[in-house]
Amino acid sequence: MPVDPQKGLIVPPDAPWAMVLRRPGQALSREPFHVGNPLPGEVRLRVEACGVCRTDLHVVDGELPPMRSPAVPGHEIVGRVDAVGEGVTWPGAGERVGVPWLGGTCHVCDYCLEGRENLCDAPELTGYTRHGGYATHVTARADYVVALPPGRPPVAMAPLLCAGLIGWRSLRRAGYGLRLGLYGFGASAHIVLQIARAQGRDIFAFTRPGDVDTQRFARSLGACWAGSSLDAPPTPLDAAIIFAPDGALVPRALGHLRKGGRLVCAGIHMSDIPSFAYRPLWHEREIVSVANLTRDDARTFFTAPECADVACTTTAYRLEQANQALDDLRHGRFEGAAVLVP
């Protein structure tokens, strides 16, 4: 039987537990995790699958400032509701729902009142300010969980809760240009590629230098060109999205845009952007960022016809293998997305 490292007590094997971050930069530890009953307005879920996102890596590695300690990462959660708090009318017990990064907002700041809840001044963020899904159970605000389409297995749906939703928001921010570049071909990019192809766009995939396997993977999904981030595409791009957390890609990608093109920075964290000349920005090129997501992003993503047939390439890990999954993500050892399964 596992032992509670804080109290030295033997824990029943069926007791709730989680992979816990005690200090940024350290490995997660398997620990008993008391979830308790949901508060008014909340639901409790038995976790079926939780995707491993690069934002989790930024939290664990300390690239984002710690918001709570200890913390349970994970914000691409699929689970079954097993308890409902007071006042909740949906979802009901037994329903399968998703829990994304945006776990709640204040409803009173200027951004919330303007309908831009992704910019809320006091957001609740799953796996960051709230405990997340690297656990057997999790609680969530009922009005921020996501209705999921029936018939898809939990492992296949988990990456859609962030890689899919952030990719969808980034794609809409990129505009409707036909030639789209994707920098950093991981979980989000391999989903966005499929959506953009369904919209009739041409996709140009940029990977780490020398990563011919990922370039081959991108072409297999329909990219018309795939090469290194150091390469120039064969034609100027209408828009590009940077998913990789490498600020040096910004001036490089900007230089590959046609006049009036738009560059979208999709990550929550990026290394410093080096200085660059004004000339590549001229001719009404734009650089924009994506921050978080909204509940409307989820509603439109899961109902849009071009998103219906998106297939996630996943590598499943047992929940106790969370450290291995994070390290494999850190070093690009798998295609698509990693998913933890309790």
Over the stretch 55-73, which tens digit does the pLDDT of each residue have? 999 999 999 998 999 999 9
Strand partners, 150: none
Q: Average pLDDT of 82-99? A: 98
Q: Strand 257-265 to strand 237-242: parallel, antiparallel, or no bridges (unpaired)?
A: parallel
Q: Average pLDDT of 276-284? A: 96
The CATH 3.90.180.10 portion of the chain extends over 17-162+293-341
What span, in angstroms and rounded, lies between the C-alpha atoms of 118 and 122? Answer: 10
Q: Is the pTM of this model over 0.85?
A: yes
Nearest partner of 59 among 50, 76, 72, judged by Cα: 72
* Residue 1 clears pLDDT 50, i.e. is over it: no
How high is the mean pLDDT of the chain?
Answer: 95
pLDDT tier at 315, thresholds 50, 70, 90:
very high
Q: What pLDDT score does 14 carry?
A: 74
In CATH, what number does 164-289 get? 3.40.50.720
In CATH, what number does 17-162+293-341 get? 3.90.180.10
% of the chain exceeding 90 in pLDDT:
94
**Cα dist. 262→20, 128, 166, 341 in Å?**
39, 30, 17, 38
The CATH 3.40.50.720 portion of the chain extends over 164-289
Q: Average pLDDT of 162-186? A: 97
